Structure formats: structure tokens, C-alpha cells
Amino acid sequence: MSVSRFSVSLEAELLKALDLYVKENNFPNRSQAIRQLIERNLVEKKWQCNHTVAGAITLLYDHHKRELACKLSDIQHEFLNEILAVQHFHLSHHICLEIIAVKGQAKNLTLLADKLISLKGIRHGKLIMTQSDDLLFSTCQREISP
């Protein structure tokens, strides 16, 4: 993709904050940090507009809670169209890490993640969303068909 240059005017305090953000997140330069901030903002907008997005749900749980594994499976079977793949890692004798790759309408992914993460016995759960296409500048009025 070709790159365009433009200059940005910022107040000294804001520039200081940007440089701190660059340093804290190990960005190679300001451009990379600004790029990431813009993309994150666009993904959030797509999320709010209920566009098709992709993401991952990570779950940490104790597999000895038998009913939990069963419930996790039941819920996942309700979302066949959203789930792309599931990876299961046995972290210790008790603890399992599951990473579920998902793609679909933002509201469905949020619903799926909420159902899984709220189950009793889940130690930690998180949904991460990203864009699923190159249509960075699509708006709420221009819905993307899946």
C-alpha cells in the first residue's frame, strides 16, 4: 500500500503524551503509533455500527469443573457461523486456555463472548476485535454484507 505524508500540528503537551505513548508501547516511530490509534478507532466504530468484524475470545478456566466444559461446548454450538477455529491449551494440571477465533456481526460476537465469559468457573475471559476487511472507511450507512 502506498504511503502519504502529511504534517500534524499538536500542542506541546499532546506531543509529549504521544511520545510517551510511543515509548511505552515500543513503537518504532510516531507514524506507527498514530496509524495504530486510527485503526483502533475505525474498528471501534465498525463495532458500534455492527459491521462484520473478526476477533478472538480468550478464556482461562479450570477443566475440573466438569459442567463448565459442557456449557462452554453447548454455547459454542449455538454460534456455528461465528466460530472459525478453537485452540485449547492445557496450561497446568487444572488450568486450560482456550482461544476462539471468531468472525461475524459485532453484536453476535459480543453476545457469544458475554455468554462464555459470564459462565461460573471462568477465571478470565476477554474478547478482542479487529477488522475483517480492507474497507477502512466504510460508514454506518454503508453496511458491509458478510
Binding site for Ni ion (CB under 5 A): 63, 90, 96
Smallest gap, in angstroms, from Cβ of residue 97 to Ni ion? 8
Nearer to Ni ion, 17 or 91 (CB): 91
Chain residue whose CB lies nearest Ni ion: 96
Instruction: Choose between 51 and 63: whose C-beta lies nearer to Ni ion.
Output: 63
Closest separation between CB of residue 43 and Ni ion, Å?
30
Among 66, 54, 64, 77, CA closest to 128: 54
> Smallest Cα–Cα separation from 100: which of 78, 120, 143, 92?
78
Looking at beta carbons only, is 53 or 96 nearer to Ni ion?
Answer: 96
- Cβ proximity to Ni ion: between 46 and 63 the closer is 63
Rounded Cα gap, residues 54 and 16, in angstroms: 33
- Nearest approach in angstroms of CB 109 to Ni ion is 23
Count Cβ atoms below 10 Å from residue 45 Cβ, excluding itself: 13
The CA distance from 79 to 104, in Å, is 10
